[in-house]
Amino acid sequence: MSSKHSVAVIGAGMHPWGKWGRNFVEYGVVAARAALEDAGIAWTDVDFVAGADTIRNGYPGFIAGATFAQALGWSGARVSSSYAACASGVQAIASARAQILAGLSEVALVVGADTTPKGFFKPVGGDRPDDPDWLRFHVLGATNPTYFGLYAQRRKSVYGATDEDFAQIKVKNAAAGVHNPYARYRKEVTIDEVLSSPMVANPLRLLEICATSDGGAAVVLCSVEYAKRKGIANPVTIDGISTVTPTFPNAVIEMPNFATDSWSTVAPNDLTFRASIAHAAYEEAGISPSDVSLAEVYDLSSALELDWYEDIGLCAVGEAEQLLRSGATTLGGRVPVNPSGGLSSFGEAIPAQAIAQVAECTWQLRGQADGHQVEGAKVAVTANQGLFGHGSSVVLSR
Amino acid sequence: MAQAPVVEGFFDPSIPALVGTRCTDCATVFFPAERSWCRNPRCASSTFDEITLSTTGTIWSFTDAQYAPPAPYVAADPYVPFAIVAVELADEGIVVLGQAADGVTVADLEVGGRVELVVETLYADADGDKLVWRWRPVREA
């Protein structure tokens, strides 16, 4: 599937997700060293470092590329630092890919890591009535799970999703996560356990809402030619990257907004923003959803995974419940979704998460996902969405 | 006790109604009010009329907050869970969030149900009551 727009992923590494409470730089360095070792590349061979930023860890978090470069030992490599909410990791990957495809970089290291506070994500401190992310908490008490709850209830009312469907997503992802050494939660759960956990944002319960985690992930990217020179004849390649923004009018209510755009004068695009994200990656890779062997999607809530089935084209709108119930998206099914265990098993480490999705797909395509391997995986897709019009999708193949 | 909106420019408690703007060129409606540049990518206008939005709409979806949201939300002590409603305003072609009115729970709400805008006290501090818009199901006659 690789084309002249492809770059090779020759290394992937992670620091296990958890609530370790240490400096995020440590997780990033552990992940970076693991990725370099996996690639068989010396740190000093890296000529470009793309960092994904964290906004909750002070200045070093805002200039993550330089932070990780310094921690690994200044080597003169060029750096970039990206912040794009939940899509930060892929924006960093896109930045590295552009350097490689332009011939400006031979081998690039992409790193994201985070240390997170306990409980709900909350806005950065201070009194900031001009910041919609601050205002939505102050005026509405609208947390992230508020928006997840709205989407989940909408699915129940419009498509007939049941609480058991939502719980089944958690059960499925927890069962996969048991086998992932980098996952934070590695314990099977039952439907009853999910449905008896405390209600948080109706109809979503505590076990259905992704936690916030510490963690780090890294990948080593290079040109396909460079990989071949290194003796890697058949590398995993990134064939498409999407970091598209919405088109006006965005008619779906999204974090951190108080309202949608108005569609009274301009008709909304046929594709919703969330659907447009993977669509652009497929288009760039020249594939269609039917080519996909597995997907890693952003299950910020159990119910949201069902929305993604439709948004990445695994089924038509309104058919996600049916796809889930058929077992197609479970490990061993036709197109497993979140074989890593997903955010359900990881919790979210924002700048690391989209990179972790790509790392998981890399291992899956190499056949190295022990215990949670998707047999015969040829093509993988990732998808995520974050605040303020950010989203990302990556198509990989081998 | 003095009363004041918890946020400037989002609603007029005297009507009560949400306050938005309409582009004088392309007629796109904005809430919260846009007063700088029209955000329709094919419109270069920078002039707007202030408007009030429809005060009734239909429920697009709803949820609740069973745990107290973190600051800067000012939660009652002891905390009382509240419902949140996403309301579609047909004339404006827009979905607007708001808390549900005091005493309304998710059991009182359904997608497609009618709601009307009310103004209630979000919290009180030393300066007085801080007001917010909320949505209340319309009792069918």
Chain mean pLDDT for chain B: 96
The beta-strand segments (E) located in chain B are 3-5, 11-12, 17-23, 29-30, 48-52, 56-65, 82-89, 94-100, 114-125, 128-137
Answer whether residue A81 is part of any domain: yes
- In this prediction, residue A4 has a pLDDT band, given cuts at 50, 70 and 90, of confident
> Closest chain A residue to B70 measured between Cα atoms?
A122
- In this prediction, residue B139 has a pLDDT band, given cuts at 50, 70 and 90, of confident
> Closest chain A residue to B28 measured between Cα atoms?
A265
Q: With an 8 Å Cβ cutoff, are A265 and B8 in contact?
A: no
CB-based contact A362:A396 (threshold 8 Å): yes
Q: What is the pLDDT of residue B55?
A: 98
Residue B1 has pLDDT above 80, yes or no: no
- In this prediction, residue A310 has a pLDDT band, given cuts at 50, 70 and 90, of very high
What's the structural domain count of chain A? 2
Q: What is the pLDDT of residue A59?
A: 96
Which range of residues forms the domain containing residue A107?
Answer: 7-118+214-237
Return the residue matching tokens 């729970």: B105
Tell me: the pLDDT tens digits for A79-137? 999 999 999 999 999 999 999 999 999 999 999 999 998 766 777 777 888 899 999 99
Answer whether residue A383 is part of any domain: yes
DSSP code per residue over A86-155? BTHHHHHHHHHHHHHHTTS-SEEEEEEEE---SSS----SS--TT-HHHHIIIII---HHHHHHHHHHHH
Residue A271 has pLDDT above 80, yes or no: yes
Answer whether residue A127 is part of any domain: no
In this structure, are A248 and A330 located in the same domain? yes
Average pLDDT, stretch A303-311?
98
CB distance from A141 to chain B under 8 Å? yes
Q: What is the pLDDT of residue A206?
A: 97
Give the range among A2-6, A196-200, B74-78 with minimum mean pLDDT.
A2-6
Smallest CA-to-CA distance from A169 within A209, A197, A229 is with: A209
> Closest chain A residue to B41 measured between Cα atoms?
A248
CB distance from A129 to chain B under 8 Å? yes
Residue A1 has pLDDT above 70, yes or no: no
In this structure, are A348 and A250 located in the same domain? yes
Tell me: the pLDDT tens digits for B5-45? 999 999 999 999 999 999 999 999 999 999 999 999 999 99
Single out the residue in A193, A222, A237 at which a domain terminates. Answer: A237
In this structure, are A147 and A178 located in the same domain? yes
* Cβ neighbours, 10 Å, residue A392: 31
Q: What is the pLDDT of residue B80?
A: 95
User: Global pTM?
Assistant: 0.96
Average pLDDT, stretch A144-148?
96
Q: Which residues pair with A15 in a beta bridge?
A: A216
Question: Which of B95, B99, B110, B119 to probe the A interface (max A CBs under 10 A)?
Answer: B95
In this structure, are A228 and A244 located in the same domain? no
Give the range among A130-134, A197-201, A259-263, A310-314 with minimum mean pLDDT.
A130-134
From the list B65, B92, B110, which residue is nearest A201 (CB)?
B65
Answer whether residue A123 is part of any domain: no
Beta-strand relationship, A7-18 and A236-242: antiparallel
CATH number at residue A110: 3.40.47.10
Chain mean pLDDT for chain A: 96
Answer whether residue A2 is part of any domain: no
In this structure, are A15 and A143 located in the same domain? no
**Residues above pLDDT 70, as percent of chain B:** 99
What's the structural domain count of chain B? 1
In this structure, are A17 and A92 located in the same domain? yes
In this structure, are A231 and A188 located in the same domain? no
Q: What is the pLDDT of residue A209?
A: 97
Residue A256 has pLDDT above 90, yes or no: yes
Tell me the residue type at A369.
Answer: A
ipTM passes above 0.95? yes
Q: With an 8 Å Cβ cutoff, are B66 and A143 in contact?
A: no
Average pLDDT, stretch A37-43?
97
In this structure, are A170 and A310 located in the same domain? yes
In angstroms, rounded to a whole number, what is the distance separating the alpha carbons of residues B55 and A262?
Answer: 16
* Interfacial A residues in 301-330 facing B (CB < 8 Å): none
Which range of residues forms the domain containing residue B78?
Answer: 3-137
From the list B30, B86, B91, which residue is nearest A253 (CB)?
B86
Q: What is the pLDDT of residue B141?
A: 58
CB distance from B39 to chain A under 8 Å? yes
Answer whether residue A124 is part of any domain: no
The beta-strand segments (E) located in chain A are 7-18, 48-52, 78-82, 107-114, 199-201, 204-205, 214-222, 236-242, 294-297, 379-386, 390-397
> Closest chain B residue to A133 measured between Cα atoms?
B72
Residues in B touching A261 (Cβ below 8 Å): 28, 39, 94
Give the range among A378-382, A387-391, B50-54 with minimum mean pLDDT.
A387-391
